[in-house]
Homo-oligomer: A and B are copies of this chain.
Amino acid sequence: MRENAKDPQRHAERMARKQRVMRERMARAQKEQGVLLVLTGPGKGKSSSGFGMLARALGHGMKVGVVQFIKGKFRTGEEAFFRRLPEVDYHVMGEGYTWDTQDRERDIEAAEAAWKEARRMLDDESYDLVLFDELNIALRYEYLDLDQVLDDLEARPEMQHVVITGRYAPQALIDIADTVTEMDVVKHAFKEQGIKAQKGIEL
C-alpha cells in the first residue's frame, strides 16, 4: 500500500472500504456478554496491558478488582498507583518471586489464599472487570487446581469481564477464553542491550 499512500483518491477508497468492513463487523457482533481475555507469551506488556484495561474500565466508571498471583519487584508501581483509588479492590499474593522463596508448599498456600480472593470477586456481579495478574504462572507451577480455576471462571456473572496475564497460558484456559493475545519478543533492552532494569518500565 505504501507506493499509493500519497494518492488522495486511493487513500479515500481505502478508508471507505475500511469503514464498511468495520460497520459490517459491528452489525454482525450481536452477542453481549462479559469477555474472558488472556494475555500470554514471552514478550513485555502482558501485565501492563491488563492494568491499562483496568484504567480504561475505571474511566468508564466500572467497579474493578485485581489479584496479583506473583508479586514482582517491578509491580510496585501499579500497586502504588491503583491502591490510591477507592474504587479498586486490590490484593497481592503474599510472596515474592517464586524463585526467591524456593519453598513450594508456601507458594501453594499463598496461591490458594490469593485464589480465594479471586473467587470472591467471581462470585460478586458488582465487579464489572477483574484482573488476575500472573495467574498463568501459578497454573504453570500447578500451585492451583486448573479444573477448579476453569470452573470458577465459567461460573462467573454473565456480564463480568476477566483479564488473565502471564506466560504459559494453559491450553484449557485458551480454549474457554474469548480473546487471547500472544506477546512475542522482537527485541528486549534488558536481555539484549544490557540496559539496567528501569524503575517504572520493566515488567
Are B30 and A181 neighbours in the complex by a CB distance under 8 Å?
Answer: no
A48 to chain B, nearest CB (A): 3
Are B104 and A11 neighbours in the complex by a CB distance under 8 Å?
Answer: yes
Chain B residue nearest in CB terms to A159: B198
**Of B8, B33, B179, which one neighbours A105 at CB under 8 angstroms?**
B8
Q: Is A79 an interface residue (CB 8 A)?
A: yes
**Known A29-B197, A48-B49, A179-B188; contact A98-B57, beta-carbon cutoff 8 A:** no
> Which of A15-23, A119-127, A149-157 forms part of the interface with chain B?
A15-23
A31 to chain B, nearest CB (A): 5
Chain B residues with Cβ under 8 A from A105's Cβ? 8
Are B78 and A55 neighbours in the complex by a CB distance under 8 Å?
Answer: yes
Are A81 and B58 neighbours in the complex by a CB distance under 8 Å?
Answer: yes
Chain B residues with Cβ under 8 A from A77's Cβ? 55-60
**Of B2, B51, B57, B182, which one neighbours A142 at CB under 8 angstroms?**
B2
A80 to chain B, nearest CB (A): 4
Are B44 and A59 neighbours in the complex by a CB distance under 8 Å?
Answer: no
Q: Give A135-180 interface residues, CB cut-off 8 Å to B.
A: 141-142, 161, 174, 177-180
Chain B residues with Cβ under 8 A from A142's Cβ? 2, 5-6
Are B37 and A56 neighbours in the complex by a CB distance under 8 Å?
Answer: no
**Known A48-B52, A59-B76, A76-B59; contact A15-B197, beta-carbon cutoff 8 A:** no
Chain B residue nearest in CB terms to A179: B189
Are B179 and A44 neighbours in the complex by a CB distance under 8 Å?
Answer: yes
